A = this chain, B = another copy of it.
Amino acid sequence: MTTDVDGDTTELSRPARRQAEIAAYVVKHGSVSANDLVEAFGVSVMTVHRDLDELERQGVVRKYRGGVSAQPTSVFESNVAYRLNTAHAEKAAIARHARAMIEPGMSVMLDDSTSALALVDLFEDIAPLTVATNFLPAITKLAQLRDVTLLALGGIYSATHDSFGGMPCAEAVEALHADLLFCSVSAVSSTHAFHQEEEIVLVKRAMLRSARTKVLLVDHAKLQRTALHRLAPLTDFDLVIVDEKTPKDLIEPLRDHGATVEVAKL
């Protein structure tokens, strides 16, 4: 089983968690039948199909008669549900650390990352604030807050990321200039930040151009990894925040290459 958990209670609803597990299962096995999943997860055929429909909607799997097959793992990795599963406490800690950088009245830009989402929960107290983001869950939350001027970055909706992207989004970003940018990526080497998807890279790059101070949020699971597209050198960021679980010998190399790194306490 792929139940490698690093001690965090999933804050995910049961079906969402199961779907993430099914996704992992499918990715691992390449392709499986519905009945396999019935056995493996102990739910009815109907439920399996419903889960698979949802996963297909998110672009994680492809259904055909008799079973499902996995899509390129890049899709799986950038799947929201999957990401939400990961490193909860760490992200909260990073968010708390990042919060200190934000002064009332500032304009803040957020990308479509769960790390950024954790930050949103802290905004209520820092208000007034102007926040720009292309991440639908963040938009929904921010719309509820008083004293937060919300600037939604529109674009083409991606069910995989639950966010907006593409050219329309990049253009919307380019029309702005924020005091602060908080963003995250899927992989970080000792010199660069990486992401699998070109479209996302496009938007993130635009964001980097449209902010004065750029902050990269990195939980330890992302270090020492790479992905297809090189987003930017770490020195492009004014600050890189990592969580406390990050091994020290992984932090040093970043600093050696010129990055400014701070460690968020849990």
Contact = CB atoms under 8 A, between A and B. Distances in A.
Interface string A155-166: 111010010100
Contact of A156 (B149, B155, B164, B171): B149
A176 B171 CA distance: 13
19 contacts: A57-B146, A136-B140, A136-B143, A140-B140, A143-B157, A150-B156, A150-B157, A151-B154, A151-B155, A151-B156, A152-B154, A152-B155, A152-B157, A154-B164, A154-B169, A168-B172, A168-B175, A168-B176, A171-B175
Contacts of A159: 143
A149 B164 CA distance: 11
Nearest to A169: B154
Interface residues of A, number: 26
Residue of A142, A159, A172 contacting most chain B CB atoms (<10 Å): A172
Nearest to A147: B57
Contacts of A155: 151-152, 154
A136 B156 CA distance: 14
A130 to B, nearest CB: 9
A187 interface: no
A153 interface: yes
A127 to B, nearest CB: 12
Given A149-B157, A151-B157, A152-B155, 9 more contacts: A136-B139, A142-B157, A143-B159, A143-B162, A152-B152, A152-B157, A154-B155, A168-B175, A172-B172
Residue of A57, A150, A176 contacting most chain B CB atoms (<10 Å): A150
